[in-house]
Each structure stands twice: as C-alpha cells, then as structure tokens.
Amino acid sequence: MIFGHISQPNPCRLPQAIEKALDFLRTTDFTALEPGVVEIEERNIFAQVLDLTTKAWHENRPEVHRRYLDIQFLAWGEEKIGIAIDTGTNKISESLLEQRDIIFYHASENESFIEMIPGSYAIFFPQDVHRPACIKSKESTIRKIVVKVAISELN
C-alpha cells in the first residue's frame, strides 16, 4: 500500500501506469463529472467516480482485488479506510473475481485504519485488504474516485 496526498510530489519513481493514473487525479475537475466510469487507457486504466455516504466500519466488508490495483482518491468529504495485509486466512464472504475482480471477506486480521481528507489517495495492491467508506468522525457524503490499474500494466 502507498498513502499520500495529491498535492505532494512523489519522491520515488512509480510504474508509468500508476503515474498516468495519479496525473489524471491531479488534472481532473471532479466537480464537473457525473458519477460513472471514465476510461483513461481503455480497460487497462479507468476511473470510477462514486458518490457515497460513509457507514460504520462493521457495515462495510473488507475487500481485495487480483487483476487490478485500486487507487482510492477522496475528492471531498472525510472517511476512514481499514487496511491489512491479506494473510490468506480471512474467511470469504463473497467472491466476484470473474465478474468484478473483487473478493469480500467477513473480517480482516490485524486491521488498522487510515484517515482520508480531500486530496488523499491510497494505492492498494492485490495483497492489501481494504475496507473503504468508513465513518471518520460522523456520517459524511463523499465523492471518491477509484482508479483501477491492470496489474499487467505494471512492467
């Protein structure tokens, strides 16, 4: 997992596909977009613009992905995201790998939380369990952008 703020330059070199996704986040006016999917590079890199309401952490299921990494970016609002390493021993609640590249777990071992403010982003790789859209201080309407980057593009 990588955590940062879009206003800060990245001190290390990331794969070109991730840099392309971060550049999209830096240069897009998210107040002008409707919720939905924005293709950045066909189905290799695309963004999901989501308007959500945060919930209590126990109402959101932890998740992982295998074919894409997630760059979760908070445009406005506030949220906490649960994070943990996928140990391989979490009990699966629902697997939608073929349809949506997602596995939901009932719970996540050794979970901790990061706090997101507008401009924050977190990059989740296949080994990173994450539980997004959790209440930080109070229920909040948020706009988040989830950029999906195909793992095959990380050469």
pLDDT in tens, 125-145: 999 999 999 999 999 999 999
H or E segment at 131?
Answer: strand 128-134
For residues 82 and 112, the answer to whether their CB atoms sit within 8 Å is: yes
- This prediction has a pTM of 0.95
Mean pLDDT value across the chain: 96
Locate the domains of the chain by residue range: 2-153
**Rounded distance between C-alpha atoms, residue 116 and residue 5, angstroms:** 9
Residue 61's pLDDT is 97
Token couple for 52: 């959500």
Query: Is residue 68 within 8 Å of residue 121, measured between CB atoms?
Result: no
In this predicted structure, the answer to whether residue 12 has a pLDDT above a threshold of 90 is: no
Q: What is the tens place of the pLDDT at every residue in 35-82?
A: 999 999 989 999 999 999 999 999 999 999 999 999 999 999 999 999
Q: Per this entry, what is the length of the chain? A: 155
Q: Are 76 and 136 in contact (CB under 8 A)?
A: no
> Residue 149: what residue type?
V
Domain 2-153 listed as CATH 2.60.120.370: yes
Could you write out the DSSP letters of every residue in 2-59?
Answer: EEEETTSPPSS---HHHHHHHHHHHH--TTSPPSEEEEEETBTEEEEEEEEE-B-GGG
